[in-house]
Amino acid sequence: MPLTAVASKLAVRPEQPLVRMLAGMTLGADVEFSSQRFADVVVAVPVGPIDHAHAEPLRHALAPILEQPAATRRALVLNLADVAYISSMGLRVLMMAAKHLRGQNARIAVAALQPVVDEIFSIARFNHVVEVFPSVGAALATLSPDAAAAYDTAGRSGP
């Protein structure tokens, strides 16, 4: 059901900012996800809301990355530029990924947060769980010079 229909049933005014932001989303749609390796860092790109309906598919999409041997992956960067909303279920997926990576002596970061997602991270104090960067390039520059160089060489055409 499109969220505009949900909003109308709840008598929410369409001119409200959150309603305008959510108007294009559809409940229950599949999560889009891609990833690319730059040297010793994997950059993953989820697309769409990470809410209750999308948290489990995201967890499954991250599983192969998390299962890689620790020696081949120094860090995971999640490019959240195309994520307009994240719920507590989505935060839980990120928290579990962070715990797993810390157990392997690897790091996890998020980059390019949309304003609503940034606010959610601030309220939840999630910057204490994952590292937060303004861009993928900034994250890679901090996490791995080799990954930053590979990213620059790729012309930043990757995620």
70 confidence band (pLDDT: 50, 70, 90): confident
CATH of 31-153, one of 3.30.750.24, 3.20.20.70, 3.40.630.30, 1.10.1020.10: 3.30.750.24
29 confidence band (pLDDT: 50, 70, 90): low
CB 111 within 8 Å of CB 145: no
Is a pLDDT exceeding 70 seen at residue 11? no
For residue 77, how many C-alpha atoms fall within 13 Å in the half-sphere facing its CB? 32
Domain boundaries, the chain: 1-28, 31-153
Q: Cα separation of 141 and 155, whole Å?
A: 15
Is a pLDDT exceeding 80 seen at residue 61? yes
Interval 49-58 mean pLDDT: 96
Q: What is the pLDDT of residues 84-138, one digit of tens each?
A: 999 999 999 999 999 999 999 999 999 999 999 999 999 999 999 999 999 999 9
